[in-house]
Amino acid sequence: MLTIARLETFSNEFVCFVRVTAQDGSFGWGQCAPYNADITATIFHRQIAPWALGWPVAKAAELGTHILTMEHKYPGSYLLRALAGLDTALWDLRGRVAEQPVAALIGGRPGRVRLYASSMRRDIQPDLEAERLARLCGEQGFTAAKWRIGAECGADRDQWEGRTEVIIPTVAARLGQGIDMLVDANSGFTVPRAIEVGQMLQDNGVTHYEEPVAWWDIKATRAVTEALEIDVTGGEQDCDMAQWQRIVAGPAVDVVQPDILYLGGLTRTLDVARMAAHAGLPCTPHAANLSLVTIATAHLLRALPNAGKYLEFSIEGDDYYPWQRGLFEGDPFRVTEGHIEVTDAPGWGVEPAAAWLAQAEHRETSTEGYAPSAYNRLYHGQS
Residue ranges of domains in the chain: 4-98+354-380, 103-342
Contact present, 275 and 258 (Cβ < 8 Å): no
pLDDT tens column, 129-138: 999 999 999 9
- Residue 374 is predicted with a pLDDT of 44
Is 4-98+354-380's fold the same as 103-342's?
Answer: no
Whether residue 376 has pLDDT greater than 60: no
C-alpha distances (whole Å) from 307 to each of 248, 274, 281, 304 are: 15, 10, 9, 5
Model confidence at 26: pLDDT above 70: yes
* Mean model confidence pLDDT for the chain: 95
The answer on pLDDT for 214 being more than 90 is yes
Q: What is the CATH number of domain 4-98+354-380?
A: 3.30.390.10
Band (pLDDT 50/70/90 cuts) for residue 196 is very high
Predicted confidence (pLDDT) per residue in 135-186, tens digit? 999 999 999 999 999 999 999 999 999 999 999 999 999 998 899 999 999 9
Report the C-alpha gap between 40 and 46 in whole angstroms. 10
Q: Is 296 helix (H, G, I), strand (E, B) or coil?
A: helix
- What mean pLDDT do residues 117-129 have? 97
Average pLDDT for residues 217-223, to the nearest whole number?
A: 98
| CB hemisphere CA count around 212 (13 angstroms) | 34
- What is the C-alpha to C-alpha distance for residues 50 and 66, in angstroms, rounded to an integer? 12
The string of pLDDT tens digits covering residues 238-251 is: 999 999 999 999 99
Question: Candidates 3.40.50.2000, 3.20.20.120, 2.40.50.140, 3.30.1360.120; correct CATH number of 103-342?
Answer: 3.20.20.120
The pTM for the full model equals: 0.95
Q: Given a cut of 90, is residue 124 above it in pLDDT?
A: yes
With 70 as the cut, is the pLDDT of residue 296 above it?
yes
CB 47 within 8 A of CB 82: yes
Going by pLDDT thresholds of 50, 70 and 90, the confidence category of residue 378 is very low
**363: pLDDT strictly greater than 60:** yes
